[in-house]
Amino acid sequence: MRKSIFILTALAAAMTANASTEGISVEHTGPTNTFVRVDTDKAPYLMIPIEENQDDALVTIIADGVAVGNFYVRFSREEVDFKVPFDLTPYRGKKLILDFQKPRSVVLRKGEEPVGFEALELADSFSTDNVEKYRPAYHHTPLYGWMNDPNGMFYKDGLWHLYYQWNPYGSKWQNMTWGHSTSRDLVNWTPMPEAIRPNALGTVFSGSAAVDRTGSAGWGENAVVAMYTSAGHSQMQSIARSADNGYTFSIYEGNPVLVMETEARDPKISWNGETGEWNMVLAHALNHEILFFTSPDLKEWTRTDSIGNVGATGGVWECPDLFPLTINGKQKWVLLVNINPGGPFGGSATQYFIGDFDGKTFTPDADANGEIPTKWMDFGKDLYATVTWSDAPQDRRVALGWMSNWQYADQVPTMQYRSANSLPRDLSLFEAPDGQLYLASAPSPELNDIRGRKYAGSGRFAVSKKGKTFSLPKTGGGICEITADIDASKGSAVAFTLSNAEGEKVTISYDASAHTLKFDRMHGTFTDISHHFPAVTGAPTFETDGHLSLRIFVDRSSIEVFADGGKSVMTNLTFPENPYTTLSVSGDGKAAVSSLNVYEIKTK
């Protein structure tokens, strides 16, 4: 067994302030293990070099000889893509060893040393200044690292809390923990420290949080309680309480509070004022089933119902949500069920069922043929894990989705961070011409406040084949909101094309006779990302008279299209080499646009 000890001397390329290799010693304890001993008094951070295309190395944290946790890193073997900080402060005064397993697996075959060990460094601080041209200007993103599902959202005392599935040690999925951000306006987000960390039961998968107004769990009135899936050797449901309104959580000693024989995850809790107990929906993922539970105290759970094998079942069911909405004075219940794969355009998507719920049993509405219809919340490719805030004010039901698709989420062209959340959407029900109820997702009213100066626009114009062009804002990386009122009463078609000088374009087109809205992102650099990325997505529209109003939100790597107050929605990522500079509105010569405006977006 080869054994070598060396002390690092080289100062690797610094992304960090006051970085140093002094205080780090590396000892290969065998071909598959390396000890990295770190002097924890020297600096608060150990910067770990990452190479995205490598396999994970497992790192065991050993403090004073005791294994206290572990995490995975795509440790740099041949190149350094970027570095991630490992927080040393909890281990101050202790002898710390990071035991890397298989960090040399690729390079050993070539007889080389992994470059990662030379590039490890201690740092006083690390920069989270944005280095990514595609980072959205007015969507929520993590400062660094990978993000998937939004989690545990609740509102309290004027603050919207948003937690999210986060990997702090790389920009691909791993090491799930709850990242945290807060906002007063649902648009500008302040990053907060990690809220719930993995423990011996496993990493921290998706879940929910709510204000326990009555103190039912025994942790006082208005304590914030989170419920999530502990993902270890199996998936178990756990709870955690916060005594400081959601900034820090202590994990309940009695966990798990619910176990199942097969994969079940993503509990969504809500207090039912009518029955005076908690409701919870849980995804029985592989069975395409949602399970319903009740509890007096968030600790003892009783299963009351299940619904499964209806709607779309082409993939696992995940991240459910259940909430009431009122239409024409009547209360109905909406069950959100996220599915992956099996979405309408491939990969992941959010479906929903509308029905009645008596606190125990959910009964979905059937259509005129007695069938339970499949309904999609969004007809783009990039809205997943959509769930809503608990305890929102004024009876609002505000939803947020992860703006990506599991088909290519870890291949999109960013590295410092990966993935954004969608714009917030206020949900309501409407009755469509087919007599059924559907869910509308309108841009939340807070988005009106970021609408800036009018940049371009026009009153009524006839839409010709040649088209009418407008220039798009150049500042801020091309971010804007476009509004248009279409008058296609003669049953015609209108296309809105956003393009740049490089010839990259996306087209949003409305066909009044087919009652469809389409989004075409076939033309760009998009094939480089994944063959799943180029796509045409299409949404049904519900108007009867050819009048359709659009709000189109363009950010640096996404476009969200809302028609008629969110009755039809498409969320799609776009990664143009340069921002779109021109909007062209063309058609078959029979329709008109009664008004069109391009607004700048005000960012803080």
Q: Which residues are catalytic?
A: 149
**Among 228, 291, 298, 293, which residue's Cα sits nearest to residue 262?**
291
Tell me how far apart the alpha carbons of residues 346 and 583 are, in angstroms, rounded to a whole number.
28
Dist. CA 344–CA 170, nearest whole Å:
30
118 vs 318, which CB is nearer to ligand FRU? 318
Q: Is 353 left (phi over 0), alpha (psi -120 to 50) or beta?
A: beta
Output 206 or 499, the one with its CB closest to ligand FRU.
Answer: 206
> Which has the closest alpha carbon to 361: 306, 283, 298?
306
What's the min distance (Å) between Cβ of 106 and ligand FRU? 26
State how far the alpha carbon of 572 is from the alpha carbons of 77, 134, 276, 381, in Å. 35, 14, 41, 6
**Total residues interacting with ligand FRU, rule: CB under 6 A:** 12
Q: Quick one: which of 165, 350, 507, 509 contacts ligand FRU (CB under 6 A)? A: 165
The CB-of-67 to ligand FRU minimum distance in angstroms stands at: 24
The correct pick among 266, 446, 481, 543 for binding ligand FRU (CB under 6 A) is 266
Q: Does 560 bind ligand FRU (CB under 6 A)?
A: no
Query: Using the rule CB under 6 A, is 420 a contact of ligand FRU?
Result: no
Q: What one-character DSSP code corresponds to residue 109?
A: H
Tell me if 227 contacts ligand FRU by CB under 6 A: no
- 286 to 325, contacts with ligand FRU by CB under 6 A? 318-319
Contact residues for 584 (Cβ-Cβ < 8 A; gap 6+): 467, 468, 469, 470, 496, 497, 499
CB of 316 to ligand FRU, least distance (A): 7
Q: Please give the single-letter amino acid code of residue 444.
A: S
Site residues for ligand FRU, 180-209, by CB under 6 A, read 205-206
Candidates 21, 34, 141, 148: give the one binding ligand FRU (CB under 6 A): 148
Residue 121 lies near ligand FRU (rule: CB under 6 A):
no
**Quick one: which of 84, 176, 479, 552 contacts ligand FRU (CB under 6 A)?**
176
116: DSSP letter? H
Tell me which of 265, 284, 288, 518 binds ligand FRU, using CB under 6 A: 265
Contact 99, 60 (CB under 8 A): yes
Residue 575 found at the interface with ligand FRU (CB under 6 A): no
Contact partners, residue 144, CB within 8 Å, separation at least 6: 84, 128, 168, 171, 416, 417
Among 118, 149, 487, 504, binds ligand FRU (CB under 6 A): 149
Decide if residue 408 touches ligand FRU (CB under 6 A).
no
**Residue 548 lies near ligand FRU (rule: CB under 6 A):** no
Q: x/- binding map, residues 331-370, to ligand FRU, per CB under 6 A?
A: ----------------------------------------
Under 8 Å between Cβ of 118 and 10: yes
**Mind giving me the DSSP string for 308-368?**
ES-S--SSEEEEEEEEEEEETTEEEEEEEEEEES--TTSS-EEEEEEEEE-SS-EEEPP-T
Tell the smallest beta-carbon distance from residue 265 to ligand FRU (Å). Answer: 5
Closest approach of ligand FRU to the CB of residue 167, in Å: 9
Interacting residue ranges for ligand FRU, rule: CB under 6 A:
148-149, 165, 176, 205-206, 229, 265-266, 318-319, 385
